[in-house]
Chain A
């Protein structure tokens, strides 16, 4: 486990969401940046993220939600991770995670209360996302 070179990310678009383009872009961007990426694609259930994270011993789960129902879909994820033995695994979420224009500080607080380590506003660039993941996974100075 410790001798593997790359950090492993499990990514996918949660719920009944079929927005596939951003997911593909993130897959390539993360891979390029030196992560090992397990991409679950679109319409991913909480259970699927968890199963993939267990098998691959993932370092973080990166959830996308574009269609506006993110808040509903993301609820209970932290508790399920705890239950499945993934205690403390970093959970990050981004895309268009809520409907319409809301104050993002409030949105972020709600997601943090749900147990997410980071929540990102609409339009967050892949570079910003990668930077944030490096910080979260304590990869200072490393390529990945």
Chain B
């Protein structure tokens, strides 16, 4: 046996997954509550005790961790045109596992600076201009950022012509220069910036967030949790040497405060006659809906889809839905626990959360009539041919109706413009191991992939 311990330091729970990389099995999982006030090591030690009760005494050969503790990796971005470099900066940050707490475009104003100061980002991503293009905006924004207090690391990934000048303007700040996220019009190049963001997270954030004591017992990896999940999903879709993947997929993680959607898919137009508009999106794309969640953001679900739909889905009256929602908003730790009404409500809420979040993540197709007849214009990713949906997140893995809920990620005739998967098999992460498998995949890709294929429950096509 060669045991490896994988830790996910969350904002409320520390979750552990122990695996034996020789037999390629999960030895056990455990979690323990961590409050912001307590030392992160207490949570870890408690969780370890719980784990060892299940597995017996285990010597771990290696230990790796990811973290979303203390608000996760909080970032603010600024670009030039919102739909172009502004969007590129956002996509880069989300893909690096960040929580984006501010998105700016064009020249930063004094009011913006006040908001940024209040937001206290862990990292600022400064971009703008294609290579050889506009330099005015990024230089202005660098000047605005130069005097901000307290300081935070700034990643500069804009027009290369302006990179050095930005560095000079920002002397005294911690500055990292990366290649332009949009070197040419419509070309997204975000990998190196994402690598840099993760590195800063590792070196600096881990210390600042009280994880350094825990970090001592870790071997080399430490990444933001969403970035570990994204890594696991890429592996599961694409496979690796010696083990095939399951093909293009969409993954949904419905949490209490946010809903994360991942897609690992090409998504370009199916037909030659379809015109593609806007920025081509990354093959591995992550979006986060901050207003869609099962508890803290519960009202956001009603606001987004309408209370009538939640009522209809749950079989409760609108008045009762609002009553329960108001209650759950305040009592965020309440779970259905056998209560029928609450179960029906959570079923409806989770279904609507997925429908809305996947709709926002997926691209759209619009039919336009020209004098010649019909043509199609696609924006964003076409996911209609994606054949697999992976489901994780507490609200979904604790119910038996998971597959039914997951079906709401699929294409719907009621929203024909939304390019969601037409037909897909559902995989459920009941043991909550995705982040752990992402961590494991850095050194043991084949093992991580085989464990996922074994441990995720497969439901076939929900219909």
Contact = CB atoms under 8 A, between A and B. Distances in A.
Nearest to A41: B275
B85 interface: yes
A10 B184 CA distance: 12
Contacts of A18: 275, 370, 372, 375
Nearest to A18: B375
Nearest to A42: B275
A8 B135 CA distance: 14
Interface in B358-394: 368, 370-372, 375, 377
A51 B133 contact: no
Contacts of A57: 129-130, 132-135
Contacts of A42: 275
A127 B105 CA distance: 39
Contacts of B277: 43, 48
Given A43-B377, A55-B85, A38 B370 contact: no
Interface residues on A, range: 20 to 34
A1 interface: yes
A8 B133 contact: yes
B90 to A, nearest CB: 15
B135 A51 contact: no
A130 to B, nearest CB: 20
Interface in B269-295: 275, 277
A16 B85 CA distance: 25
A42 B372 CA distance: 15
A3 B161 CA distance: 9
Interface in B52-111: 80-81, 83-85
B30 interface: no
A54 interface: yes
B444 interface: no
Given A1-B161, A43-B377, A67-B371, A55 B182 contact: yes
B132 A52 contact: no
Contacts of A38: 130, 184-185
Given A3-B161, A4-B161, A42-B275, A55 B81 contact: yes
B275 A51 contact: no
Contacts of A43: 275, 277, 368, 375, 377
Interface in A52-72: 52, 54-58, 67
Contacts of A10: 185
Contacts of B133: 8, 55-58
A56 B370 contact: no
Contacts of A40: 185
Nearest to A47: B83
Contacts of B83: 51
A119 to B, nearest CB: 22
A67 B80 CA distance: 33
Interface in B126-155: 128-130, 132-135
A52 B84 contact: yes
9 contacts: A1-B135, A1-B161, A8-B132, A18-B375, A38-B184, A54-B80, A55-B133, A56-B132, A57-B129
